[in-house]
Structure 1
Amino acid sequence: MIRRFLAGLMVVLLSGCSSVSYYSQLASGQWELLCARQPVAEVIADPARPQGLREHLVQSQKARTFASQQLHLPDNQSYRLYADIGRPYVVWNVFATQEFSLSPENHCFPIAGCVAYHGYYSQGAARGEAALLRQQGMDVSIGGVEAYSTLGWFNDPIMNTMMHWGDERLATLIFHELAHQRFYLKDDTGFNESFATFVEQEGTRQWRAARGLAPVSDAALQQRDQFIQLILDTRKRLENLYAQPLPAEAMRAGKAAAFERLRNDYQQLRDSQWGGDKRYDAWINQPMNNARLLPFGLYDQWVPAFAALFRQEGGDWVRFYRAVQALGGLAAPERKARLQQLMNGHQEMAAEAPGYK
């Protein structure tokens, strides 16, 4: 394992994609995480550990077994290990855009390819990077991350950062991150996250059914989808605004108006259709900028397309993964066209059969 870690470290340090100091903190942060791991079975068997933690881990292992046996996700030591890293997030991601753009400042890595953020194991380092970017006139957002996948390079652990979640949310995380290990397409975040999100959602549906539980409430799913649609509508309005040949002051005024409309539309939706449910108030009431909108759409852009593909493959996971791999092997324009074709087919099926997901 040490040889594997050092080999990977040399690759990133010699790649020239970014500064040695940035890669050094990535390497030291990952090494700290690796050293903190211990088998979940040992934690469960340790009477000195909190009872709530041990019970939570017992349930996690049932979901972990289901992931490999029923969803045909990788059968390795990932999420059969536990690590307490002594902080609420494992990394902090820094997103940035130009003042009048919704295109992220991408960063490229030898293994993961290009992604729309810089990750830091220290919150202070993330804030320092964000301050420098703001000085350059950029829109910046920092988001704490409770888990991530190393794409099978290492056995990823369950972490203390996840222990405030319920048993089902932890299960969905395991399904999502193992999906990244099952298939990952370099340089296509939308494809990767939509694929993993579909596996998470369908896997959770099957996990609930296997335990005799009812499907997740349509009302809760509808609220989530409606909130995301508000964000996507705002992005579209901003994209149209930024495409116009306007002076900077007029552009800033239009940008502020778009964010104000987002807040007003949200409040109207919350009060008129959600019965005053305030679950998204904390997010909507924070200062707005382009960078805060970046994650929306990345994680679910093509989810309906993967749902249609899963249906085409008869709900057979092995056949589905094979089809996903074939789809990932297409050239980018052809792959996008095929995803759009699948998306259109899914929408037509939903229109013909109300209640179809």
Structure 2
Amino acid sequence: MLCVVGALACFGLTNGCGPDLLYLPSLIAGQLQAIAGSVPVEKALEGGNLDADQQAKLRLIQDARIYAIETMGLRNSRSFTLFLDLGDSTRVYNVSASEPDSLSEQTWSFPFVGTVPYLGFFDRELAERFRDRLTGEGLDVLMYEVDAYSLRDLLPNPIRSGMLRRDDLTVIETVIHELLHDTVFRSGDTDFNESLATFVARAGTVEYLRDRAFDENIIADAAERFDDTDAYNAFMFRLFADLQDYYATDIGREAKIAGREAVFQAGRDRFLHDVHPTLHHPESYEWVQRMPTNNAWMLANYRYNLDLGLFGEVYAATGFNWANTLDVFRSAAAAPEPKAFLSDWLAARVD
């Protein structure tokens, strides 16, 4: 939803940004309505409208935010300082798309945030209309709900009530992930931004659980869940590579589209027989057998999980010092090639 930032910058430009003339007004109106309908977190906790579980989750968000700022050194932005009660409604949606015969994502450009591979919507009908338009153009399309997003502190970014339905581990991860976007950002490079946020959120979540003296069973469960995530991501990267090889053949566009289901099904079968039995929580991955034959789906996973090992090496090389690590990541974000910068930085330390 960084396109909200770009939308504000685009407002009033004659050439416009986004899918149609309604997009910018709906995006700006949606964010302003969210702010107007929000209350400070402290007031929400005192208001008597939340049950005990919701209050506990809201306090967890507050504490995770404090930890991310005071212990990890993430930016003290206005993210997660307000609460917006929407009941069980999400009211935030992302739409992304890809060519059906290649792993080539559709992109849109905005001032300040650069080129992005998805568009965010507050209006479900508008999102569905855009999804259907892209589908009608023959693209693979993915529309999904979003609990939280970053505005890079251009405007206050409230906690949406739907986030309170998530489990504790997901909530902590989400808070740190979005605050990282407020801290380190590279214009037009979603892969770097999202993957870096994934790494920092995962590492920060484990440290938060430990430093806040959570029960050892909870910490162990978090480690198991991240192990399962790593196994799933390794499977997805292999399937991604298999699809790249398949789409690189010269059999023609229509033949590629007709034959790609076999590649996806081979991946589903491999997961069932080789990966699923090794998981700590296999019940959480039953849905993989129903994974869609959809390149936009593949790209959505891909862009959030690149170079996590490289980021981890940098963190270890600083002695697990977040202040120093974030300085390196900021420098990488400003470099022409972030991955090359980090690799060179690590090599220089070895030399």
C-alpha distance in structure 1 between counterparts of 2:271 and 2:7, whole Å:
45
**Deviation for aligned residue 1:211:** 2.1
C-alpha distance in structure 2 between counterparts of 1:244 and 1:344, whole Å:
37
Structure 2 counterpart SS, 1:79? strand
Unaligned 5+ runs, structure 1: 349-357
C-alpha distance in structure 1 between counterparts of 2:96 and 2:86, whole Å:
24
- Please tell me whether residue 241 in structure 1 is matched to residue 241 in structure 2: no
C-alpha distance in structure 2 between counterparts of 1:211 and 1:301, whole Å:
29
C-alpha offsets along residues 6-49 of structure 1, whole Å, 9 cap, x if unaligned?
99736334163333311111111111211121111111112343
Structure 2 counterpart SS, 1:20? coil
- Return the letter of the residue paired with 1:228: N
Unaligned 5+ runs, structure 2: none
- The corresponding residue for 1:308 is 313
Asked if 1 retains the 8 angstrom alpha-carbon contact of 2:7 and 2:17, the reply is: no
- The corresponding residue for 1:165 is 166
Q: Map 1:313-328; keep pairs closer than 5 Å.
A: 313-328=318-333
- The corresponding residue for 1:125 is 126
Q: How many residues align?
A: 340
- Return the letter of the residue paired with 1:12: F
- Please tell me whether residue 259 in structure 1 is matched to residue 264 in structure 2: yes
- The corresponding residue for 1:351 is none
- Return the letter of the residue paired with 1:107: W
CA RMSD for the aligned pairs? 2.6
Asked if 2 retains the 8 angstrom alpha-carbon contact of 1:113 and 1:187, the reply is: yes
- Return the letter of the residue paired with 1:338: F
Q: Structure 1 residues 105 and 278, CA, compared in 2 at 3 Å: closer, same or farther?
A: same
**Deviation for aligned residue 1:249:** 4.3
Worse-matched range after superposition: 273-282 or 321-330:
273-282
Q: Structure 1 residues 202 and 342, CA, compared in 2 at 3 Å: closer, same or farther?
A: farther
Asked if 2 retains the 8 angstrom alpha-carbon contact of 1:12 and 1:110, the reply is: no
Q: Map 1:44-193; keep pairs closer than 5 Å.
A: 44-86=45-87, 88-193=89-194
Q: Structure 1 residues 298 and 97, CA, compared in 2 at 3 Å: closer, same or farther?
A: same
C-alpha distance in structure 1 between counterparts of 2:154 and 2:241, whole Å:
37
- Please tell me whether residue 9 in structure 1 is matched to residue 8 in structure 2: yes
C-alpha distance in structure 1 between counterparts of 2:53 and 2:98, whole Å:
42
Structure 2 counterpart SS, 1:193? helix
Structure 1 counterpart SS, 2:157? coil
Asked if 1 retains the 8 angstrom alpha-carbon contact of 2:17 and 2:109, the reply is: yes
Identical aligned residues as a percent = 26
C-alpha distance in structure 2 between counterparts of 1:271 and 1:198, whole Å:
23
Worse-matched range after superposition: 120-129 or 149-158:
120-129
Asked if 2 retains the 8 angstrom alpha-carbon contact of 1:130 and 1:140, the reply is: yes
TM-score by length of 1: 0.87
**Deviation for aligned residue 1:141:** 1.4
- The corresponding residue for 1:299 is 304
- The corresponding residue for 1:222 is 227
Q: Structure 1 residues 135 and 227, CA, compared in 2 at 3 Å: closer, same or farther?
A: same
Q: Structure 1 residues 90 and 13, CA, compared in 2 at 3 Å: closer, same or farther?
A: farther
- The corresponding residue for 1:24 is 25
C-alpha offsets along residues 182-240 of structure 1, whole Å, 9 cap, x if unaligned?
11110111111122112211211211111223444444322211212222211111111
Q: Structure 1 residues 340 and 121, CA, compared in 2 at 3 Å: closer, same or farther?
A: same
C-alpha distance in structure 2 between counterparts of 1:191 and 1:317, whole Å:
18
Asked if 2 retains the 8 angstrom alpha-carbon contact of 1:95 and 1:116, the reply is: yes
